[in-house]
């Protein structure tokens, strides 16, 4: 009986410890006035990130936030949604971006909402533009003597179908959609970075920049490590040099265990994301 009670308390204690040391521990065991938030990998869903950003908006203890971005970009709407939440956060806290290996396209879009952006000299960033890709199986269907039968309510209902060639009218229509998305991107960069539309037009042909080149063109504010970004956030928020920092907890998923190399995991996430269908992307093209 005593052994059973002791075992119960040990298991209960371990359960509470694991709960507190996990992702729910923010505000329970962590103390600090600056918090680091990670935005990693292809951006196909924004829910987790915007919940974190919204939590920080409401926090009374956090005075500044550092966004660590290491992403090639992703789908348009999630990138825009995170960008808008960062803008809301910036209205009540100081926000500094620290770019990792890559903060391109949608990753750069998000970064533009911050008070300041720091990159590494070798960071890959920029890639301001929109891309739309799809596969075509019409030749395979013809060789296989298969027929794709479609009933639709309007001429453009199956635009982009992989089972037939695209008509000139459909290409023009999709290009107009891309151009609209592109205009939204360039306008956000122009307004957030205070760069003239004329200059943005030159910089936004889809090309990538190293962090050093981005600094020279005004796409980022400086070069430095994540610790430099943290120090910059302290200065902007008027915090002491020894102000505490809350670092993100490592949350392991299935892909982390199967593919511990981040580059491999990123490519798999990118591959799986592409199976969500015909998409418009603020994303660097591999």
Could you tell me the CATH number of the domain that includes residue 92? 3.90.226.10
Given a cut of 90, whether residue 247 has pLDDT beyond it is yes
Bridge partner residues of 104 (DSSP): 126
Q: What's the rounded mean pLDDT across residues 28-43? A: 87
- Assigned domain for 43 exists: yes
Q: Are strands 94-104 and 280-283 parallel, antiparallel or unpaired?
A: unpaired
In this predicted structure, which of 61-75, 167-181, 255-269 has the lowest mean pLDDT?
A: 255-269
Helix and strand totals (H; E) in the chain: 11, 11
Q: What pLDDT does 141 receive? A: 75
Rounded Cα gap, residues 286 and 263, in angstroms: 13
Q: What pLDDT does 79 receive? A: 98
pLDDT band at 165 (very low <50, low <70, confident <90, very high): confident
Given a cut of 50, whether residue 242 has pLDDT beyond it is yes
- Assigned domain for 5 exists: no
Structure-model confidence comparison of residues 96 and 281, the more confident one:
96
Alpha-carbon distance values, 85 to 32, 52, 113, 132 (Å): 22, 10, 9, 25
- Assigned domain for 171 exists: no
Answer for the pair 68, 100: CB distance below 8 angstroms, yes or no: yes
Bridge partner residues of 98 (DSSP): 68, 118
Three-state DSSP class for residue 111: helix
Active-site position among 51, 152, 157, 201:
157
* 204 assigned to active site: no
pLDDT band at 146 (very low <50, low <70, confident <90, very high): confident
Q: What pLDDT does 11 receive? A: 44
- Assigned domain for 22 exists: no
- Assigned domain for 19 exists: no
- Assigned domain for 150 exists: no
Q: What pLDDT does 260 receive? A: 62
Q: Which residues contact 15 (CB under 8 A, 6 or more apart)?
A: none
Q: Domain range holding 125?
A: 31-133+196-283
- Assigned domain for 184 exists: no
Three-state DSSP class for residue 192: helix
Active-site position among 46, 105, 161, 192:
105
pLDDT tens per residue, range 97-115? 999 999 999 999 999 999 9
Q: What pLDDT does 163 receive? A: 83
Answer for the pair 246, 30: CB distance below 8 angstroms, yes or no: yes
* 199 assigned to active site: no
Q: What's the rounded mean pLDDT across residues 76-102? A: 98
- Assigned domain for 178 exists: no
Per the structure, the count of domains in the chain is: 1
pLDDT above 90 covers what percent of the chain? 65
Q: What's the rounded mean pLDDT across residues 102-129? A: 98
Q: What pLDDT does 14 receive? A: 44
Single out the residue of 121, 143, 96, 101 nearest to residue 211, CA to CA: 121
């Amino acid at each position: 009986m005593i052994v059973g009670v002791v075992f119960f308390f040990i298991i209960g204690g371990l359960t509470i410890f694991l709960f507190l040391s996990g992702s729910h521990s923010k505000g329970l065991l962590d103390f600090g006035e600056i918090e680091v938030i990670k935005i990693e990998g292809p951006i196909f869903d924004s829910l987790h990130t915007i919940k974190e950003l919204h939590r920080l908006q409401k926090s009374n203890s956090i005075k500044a936030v550092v966004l660590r971005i290491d992403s090639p970009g992703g789908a348009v709407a999630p990138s825009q949604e995170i960008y808008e939440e960062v803008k809301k956060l910036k209205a009540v806290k100081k926000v500094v971006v620290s770019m990792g290996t890559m903060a391109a396209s949608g990753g750069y879009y998000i970064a533009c909402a911050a008070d300041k952006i720091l990159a590494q000299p070798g960071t890959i960033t920029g890639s301001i533009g929109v891309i739309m890709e799809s596969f075509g199986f019409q030749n395979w269907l013809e060789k296989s003597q298969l027929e794709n039968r479609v009933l639709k309510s309007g001429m453009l209902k199956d635009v982009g179908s992989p089972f037939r060639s695209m008509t000139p009218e459909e290409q023009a229509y999709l290009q107009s959609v891309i151009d609209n998305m592109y205009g939204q991107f360039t306008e956000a960069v122009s307004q957030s970075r205070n760069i003239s539309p004329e200059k943005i037009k030159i910089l936004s042909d889809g090309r990538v920049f190293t962090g050093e080149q981005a600094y020279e063109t005004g796409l980022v504010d400086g070069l430095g490590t994540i610790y430099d970004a943290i120090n910059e956030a302290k200065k902007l928020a008027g915090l002491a040099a020894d102000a505490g920092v809350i670092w993100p907890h490592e949350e392991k998923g299935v892909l982390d265990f199967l593919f511990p190399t981040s580059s491999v995991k990123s490519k798999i996430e990118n591959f799986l994301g592409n199976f969500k269908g015909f998409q418009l992307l603020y994303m660097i093209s591999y």
